[in-house]
Chains A and B, each alone.
Chain A
Amino acid sequence: MKDFNKDNFNDSIRSKFASAEVQPGNNVWEGIEAELLKQDNRSMHKKAAFYRNLAAAVIFIALISIYFNLQDFTFNKDQNSTLAPIEIEDQNDQTFLSDNDVIMAQPKAQGYNDNVDNFSGGTSENSTVAFVGNSDNEEYKVNEIPAIQDNQDLATVRIVANDNLASSLTKIDNITPDGIELPELNLEVKEVSYFAVSNLDKSKDKSGIAWNTNVNIGSGNFNPNSEITETPIFSTVSTLNNPGTAGRTTGEDASFNNNQEREAVEDLSSAPMQGNLSFTFGLNFGIILNEKWNIKSGIQYGAYRSSSLSSTVVRDRNSDRLYPYHGASSSTEISDGKVVNAISEYELYNDFQIVTIPLMTSYKVIDRKFDVSLVAGLSADFIIRNTLKGSSDQINELKFDQNDKQSYKNIFASSIAGIEVSYPFADKYAISVMPTYKRALSNVTTENATFNSMPAFVGLNMSLAYMF
Chain B
Amino acid sequence: MPRTKEIIKGCQNGDRKSQYELYQQYSSGMMAVALRYSKSTLEAEDILQEGFIKIFENIKKFRGESSIGYWIKRIIINTALNHQRSKLYLYPMVDVEDVKEGIESLSVGNLAVEDLMELIQDLPTGCQVIFNLYAVEGYQHKEIAKMLDINIGTSKSQYARARKILMEQLEKQSKWGNERFQ
Interaction A to B: yes
Size category of the binding interface on chain B? 35 or more
A residues within 8 A CB of B27? 23-24, 28-29
The listed residue (B23, B29, B44, B136) touching A29 by CB distance below 8 A is B23
Binary interface profile of A, 8-49, with partner B (CB < 8 Å = 1, else 0)?
111011101100111111011101110110011000000000
Stretch binding the partner chain, chosen from B2-10, B52-60, B84-92: B52-60
List the A side residues contacting B116 at CB < 8 Å.
13, 16-17
**A2 beta carbon closer than 8 Å to chain B:** yes
Interface pair A14/B45, CB less than 8 Å apart: no
Instruction: Tell me the bound Cα distance from A5 to B159 in angstroms.
Output: 10
Q: Measured between alpha carbons, how far is A108 from B137 in the docked complex, in Å?
A: 96
Instruction: Categorize the interface residue count of chain A.
Output: 20 to 34
Q: Please classify the interface of chain B as helix (H, G, I), strand (E, B), loop, or mixed, using the class held by over half of its residues.
A: helix
Other-chain contact of B105, A7, A29, A31, A35 (Cβ < 8 Å): A7
Contact flag A20-B32 (CB < 8 Å), given A28-B27, A36-B16, A36-B56: yes
Flag if A32 contacts B23 (CB, 8 Å). Answer: yes
Interface check A4, CB cutoff 8 A: yes
B105 near A16: Cβ-Cβ < 8 Å: no
A244 to B74, alpha carbons, bound, how many Å? 35
| A14 touching B28 in the complex, CB below 8 Å, given contacts A9-B105, A32-B49 | no
- A1 near B: Cβ within 8 Å? yes
Hey, which chain B residues are within 8 Å of A35, CB to CB? 49, 53
* Cα distance, A31 to B135, chains bound together (Å): 32
A24 to B135, CA, bound (A): 24
A9 contact from B19, B101, B108, B113, Cβ within 8 A: B108
| B113, A17: Cβ atoms closer than 8 Å | yes
Task: Given A12-B108, A12-B109, A29-B20, output 18 extra A-B contacts at Cβ < 8 Å.
Answer: A1-B99, A4-B159, A7-B105, A13-B135, A16-B111, A17-B32, A17-B113, A20-B117, A21-B29, A22-B31, A22-B32, A24-B44, A27-B45, A32-B19, A32-B53, A32-B56, A36-B19, A36-B56
B residues sitting closer than 8 Å to A (CB atoms) are 14, 16, 19-20, 23, 27-29, 31-32, 35-36, 41, 44-45, 48-49, 52-53, 56-57, 99, 101, 105-109, 111, 113, 116-117, 134-136, 138, 156-157, 159-160, 163
Which residues does A use to contact B, with CB under 8 Å? 1-2, 4-5, 7-10, 12-14, 16-17, 20-25, 27-29, 31-33, 35-36, 39-40
Closest 9 CB pairs of A and B: A21-B28, A20-B32, A9-B105, A22-B31, A24-B31, A10-B135, A31-B49, A22-B32, A20-B113
